Amino acid sequence: MKAKMTVTKLELRKIKLMQDTGRVGHNFELVAKVRVQPRTMGALSGEGIECPELQWIETIDWYRFDTFTNNWIQAGTQTRNKDLYKANPTSHTFNTWQEENRYAFARHTPWFPAALKNTYGTEAKHWIAQNGFEWEIPIKDIPAMSLQGGSGGGAGTSLVIGPTRRRIIRFELGFTGCQQRIHCAQILETMNGRVTMHAFIQRKLSDAELNAPQNVITWRNLVGA
């Protein structure tokens, strides 16, 4: 029987605000703890490892500011529950989950065989398929927004392109075969190129919660805190 990988635990790590003169956003890592059950028929099973599929699902909402009413108005939902990994598996965001890279992280664990620590990912993969192993694989994302407006980015065309706008990305992250899901959200807002909101929420947000007045006040108060 072919060796098989399962994801046993998911965790968000290294969440950090990123802000400079041109943009605002966050760095974060989705860390997957994986375990490989070794093949059961020796070389007859081959050197391959059956792996789960990454599921990187995003919903992106855009808001514009209405100067007549002094209110933020939803401009639309750019993507709803779109699996960005399925749409573009070769994206730089998913580089560490690529076949040639995911096994390389096993070499950094203290209990990996010393003789294989400087080998290529393929050699590490073959040893893992034969012996089984457990290690962590980080997947890093840097969702950011330009302060002066504009369009484009990993998820596609922006629905509001001026320097006054609000963007909310809701993430649902996981893997096939793993019941655990990571829900989080990033809320960015600028007024005339000035940052007025930069929240990263580590829980699932409903549509109603996005516009709840008290939530907006709380998120705005994070700026400069």
Amino acid at 60: I
What pLDDT was estimated at residue 150?
87
Residue 201 has pLDDT above 60, yes or no: yes
Torsional sign, CA 35, 40, 46, 51 = negative
Instruction: Give the ranges where the chain is alpha helix by DSSP (H).
Output: 84-87, 121-131, 207-210, 213-221
Name which of 175, 181, 225, 179 is nearest 200 in CA terms. Answer: 225
CA–CA dist 79, 164 (Å, integer) = 20
Q: What tens digit of pLDDT does each residue of 82-136 get? A: 999 999 999 999 999 998 899 989 988 888 888 888 777 778 888 999 999 999 9
CA–CA dist 170, 182 (Å, integer) = 11
Amino acid at 170: R
Task: Output 182 or 46, whichever has higher pLDDT.
Answer: 182
CA–CA dist 15, 182 (Å, integer) = 14
Q: What tens digit of pLDDT does each residue of 132-155 get? A: 999 999 999 999 999 998 887 666
The mean pLDDT value of the chain amounts to 91
Helices (H) and strands (E) in the chain, counts: 4, 10
**Region label for 149, one of left (φ > 0), alpha (ψ between -120 and 50) or beta (otherwise):** left
CA–CA dist 171, 7 (Å, integer) = 18
pTM attached to this predicted model: 0.92
What pLDDT was estimated at residue 154?
61
CA–CA dist 176, 60 (Å, integer) = 23
Q: What tens digit of pLDDT does each residue of 57-74 get? A: 999 999 999 999 999 999
Residue 11 has pLDDT above 90, yes or no: yes
What pLDDT was estimated at residue 88?
93
- Would you say 66 and 93 are in contact if contact means Cβ atoms under 8 Å apart? no
CA–CA dist 174, 85 (Å, integer) = 11
What pLDDT was estimated at residue 16?
97
Question: What percentage of residues in the chain have a pLDDT greater than 70?
Answer: 94
What pLDDT was estimated at residue 155?
63
**Region label for 211, one of left (φ > 0), alpha (ψ between -120 and 50) or beta (otherwise):** alpha
Instruction: Spell out the residues 6+ positions from residue 141 whose beta carbon is closer than 8 angstroms to its own.
Output: 27, 28, 29, 30, 93
